[in-house]
Structure 1
Amino acid sequence: MNKNKGRSRFLVLCLAPATILFFVFMIIPTLNVFRMSLFERGAYSPNETFVGLKNFQMLVTDTQFIRSMQNMILLVVIVTIITFGFALVFAGILTREKIKGQNFFRVVFYIPNILSVVVIAGIFSAIYKPENGMLNSIIGLFTTMTDPILWKGETLVIPSLIMAMVWQAIGYYMVMYMASMSAVPESLYESANLDGAGRVTQFFQITIPLIWTNIRTTLTFFIISTINMAFLFVKAMTSGGPNGASDVALNYMYSQKDAGLYGYSMAIGVVIFLFSFALSAVVNKVTDREPLEF
C-alpha cells in the first residue's frame, strides 16, 4: 500500500511541472483570447468595452478577412498535396531503387528544413527578382522578354509562395517516409514480383498501406503547421502584398492588432483556432482506416 502511494506521489511530482506550465502558458492564454474576442479594446489601452459577438459579425462582411482565409486554405490544400506527393515518390525511389549516393540525396533534400524561414524567403526573393532573378534569367535564355515576369505580382504571388513552402518541407517528410519504407519486408515485394505486380502497383498496394499510420500522423501535423508556416513565409516574403493578394488570416490578424483593433484581432484568432481544430478532426476522420501489420 505504501509502495503504491509512493509511486503515485512520484508520478504526480513528475507530471506537475509540465501540467502547470501547460496550463499557465497554453490554457489560460487560449481562454483569454476567447474572452477578449467579445470585447472592444485598443492594442495598448487597458480600457475595454463588452460588445458580445459584434467582432464576429464584422468578420462576416470583411472582404479582406475572407480573402485572407481563402488564401490560407488554398495554401494549406495545395502545399499539402504537392509536398506529400513528392515526398512519398522521392522516398519510394530512394528506398526501392538502387541509386548511388542515397545518403547524399537525403542530406541535400533535408538541408532546406534546417534553414530558417527568413533565409529561405531571402533565397526565393532573389530568385523571383524581376530584373536579374534566376527564373527570369533562365527564361531570357530561351525567349526575348520585353517585360520581366513579376513572380511576386498579384497573379503569381500565391504560386511563388507555394514553391518556396514545398521546397522547404519536402526533405523532412521524405526522410521520415524513407525510414518507414525501409521497415517494410522485402519478401512482400518479392512475392508481388512473382505475381506480376509492377513498381507502381507495389507502391500503392504494399508500401502506402503499410506506412499509412505514419502518413496519417504526419499529414495531420503538417496541415496544422502549414497554417503557421504560411504566415511566416508571407510575413518574410510579401507582407501580405501586393494589394493583399498574398495575405493570410494570421498576417491579417496581426495587422488588425497593429491598427489598434485588439478585440477584432482576437476574434480572428478564435476563428483560426476553431478552423484548425475542425480541420484536424476532419483529417483524422477521413484518413481513419484499419492499420495493417507485417
Structure 2
Amino acid sequence: MIVPTFNVFRMSLYKWGGYSAEKTFVGFNNFKTLASDMKFLRAMQNSILIITVVTLVTLALAIIFAYILSREKIKGQALFRTIFYIPNILSIVVVAAIFSAVYDQRDGLLNSIIYIFRPVAPDGKGLIAWLGNQRLVVWAIIIALIWQAIGYYMVMYMASMAGVPESIYESASLEGAGKVRQFFSMTLPMIWINIRSTLTFFIISTINLSFQLVKAMTGGKPDGASDVFLNYMYDQAYTNSSYGYGMAIGVVIFLFSFALAAVVNRVTKRDALEF
C-alpha cells in the first residue's frame, strides 16, 4: 500500500505517457497546469457538490427510515427492509443501466411521467435530455447515488438503534417527551459514534462510486459536464497518455480526501454517551 502511494507522488513530478521508457522530470509543472485547467476545476466542483449533497441527503434519509422501521409498528417491516437494501447489492454498472433507462430522453420513465402532465410535440421536441443537459446531468447522477446507498446505511443505523434500551424510551414517554423530541435528544446522541464513523466512510466511498457511475453512465459527457475527480484522472492517465499529469490529479485527490476526513472527524467529535 505504501509503495504504490509513494509512486503516485513520485510520478506526478514527471512528464510520461505511461508506456514509453522515456520520462522527463518536470517538478511541480503538472500541479501548476492543474491550477489553470478549467476541466479539472469543473470536475472538482462536481465532486464537491456530489460529496456534499449525496452524503447529507443519504445519511439523513437513512437515519429517518431506520428510526421509523425500528420504532414504529408498521406492517411488512421485513419487506420494507429488503426493498430498501436491494439497490445496495446491485452492481454499480447495473445501477447505471437502470437510471440510463429512467433518464432516456425518448422512452425513459421520467419523461413518460412528465408527458402525462405536460404533453409535447409528436417529434419529441420539448422532452428533457437529463443526461445530455449540462445543468441537469450532475443532479441525475446524485439521485442515482442516493438511491443506491440509502438501504445500506439504513440497516447500519437500525442495528445501532436496536442497542438502545427500550426502558429509556419508556422513561422519556412518561416524562412527556414526544417521538420527535426522543429522536433528537435520545436516539441521535446515542448512535452518534456510528453516525460519525459512517459519515467519514461514506464521503470516501462516494468519491469512488461517483467515478464508477459516471464512467458507466455518461463517460463525463456532455462536454465534460459530468466529470468527477477520478474520471478526469483516469482519462488523463490512460486515455490521453498523460500519466504523469494523471498522477498529479491523483495526489490532489489523495490530499483532498485526507483533509476532508480530518475536518469531518474534528467537526463531529463529541463525548460518547453511556447508559
Category of TM-score, reference length = shorter chain: over 0.9
1:270 correspondence with 2:263? no
Whole-angstrom CA distance in 2 between matches of 1:182 and 1:228: 30
Q: How does 1:202-221 map to 2 (within 5 A)?
A: 202-221=182-201
User: How many positions carry a matched residue from both structures?
Assistant: 269
Using the size of structure 2 for normalisation, the TM-score is 0.96
| Alignment match, 1:73 | 48
Return 150-159 or 208-217, whichever deviates more. 150-159
Deviation (angstroms), 1:233: 0.7
* Match of residue 160, structure 1, among 121, 133, 140: 140
1:251 correspondence with 2:226? no
Whole-angstrom CA distance in 1 between matches of 2:244 and 2:89: 36
Bigger radius of gyration, 1 or 2? 1
| Alignment match, 1:131 | 106
Q: What SS class does the counterpart of residue 47 from structure 1 fall into?
A: coil
Q: How does 1:101-116 map to 2 (within 5 A)?
A: 101-116=76-91
Whole-angstrom CA distance in 1 between matches of 2:246 and 2:111: 38
Whole-angstrom CA distance in 2 between matches of 1:35 and 1:181: 46
Whole-angstrom CA distance in 1 between matches of 2:205 and 2:72: 31
Return 211-220 or 189-198, whichever deviates more. 189-198
Using the size of structure 1 for normalisation, the TM-score is 0.90
| Alignment match, 2:269 | 288
Deviation (angstroms), 1:63: 0.5
Whole-angstrom CA distance in 2 between matches of 1:54 and 1:142: 54
Deviation (angstroms), 1:200: 1.0
| Alignment match, 1:242 | 222
Q: Percent identity?
A: 63
Amino acid at match of 2:264: V
Deviation (angstroms), 1:40: 0.8
Deviation (angstroms), 1:129: 0.5
Deviation (angstroms), 1:145: 2.6
Whole-angstrom CA distance in 1 between matches of 2:21 and 2:67: 57
| Alignment match, 2:179 | 199
Whole-angstrom CA distance in 1 between matches of 2:140 and 2:60: 18
Deviation (angstroms), 1:111: 0.5
* Match of residue 230, structure 1, among 210, 232, 243: 210
Whole-angstrom CA distance in 1 between matches of 2:25 and 2:118: 61
**1:149-194: CA deviation from partner (whole Å, max 9, x where unpaired):** 1111212101110110000000000001011111111111111112
| Alignment match, 2:69 | 94
CA RMSD of aligned residues (A): 0.8
Q: What SS class does the counterpart of residue 197 from structure 1 fall into?
A: coil
Amino acid at match of 1:183: G
Moved over 4 A (4+): none
Whole-angstrom CA distance in 1 between matches of 2:240 and 2:152: 37
Q: What SS class does the counterpart of residue 293 from structure 1 fall into?
A: coil
* Match of residue 150, structure 1, among 129, 132, 135: 129
Amino acid at match of 1:170: I
Q: What SS class does the counterpart of residue 15 from structure 2 fall into?
A: strand
Deviation (angstroms), 1:143: 2.1
Whole-angstrom CA distance in 2 between matches of 1:244 and 1:275: 21
Q: What SS class does the counterpart of residue 113 from structure 1 fall into?
A: helix
Amino acid at match of 2:213: F
Whole-angstrom CA distance in 1 between matches of 2:245 and 2:136: 30
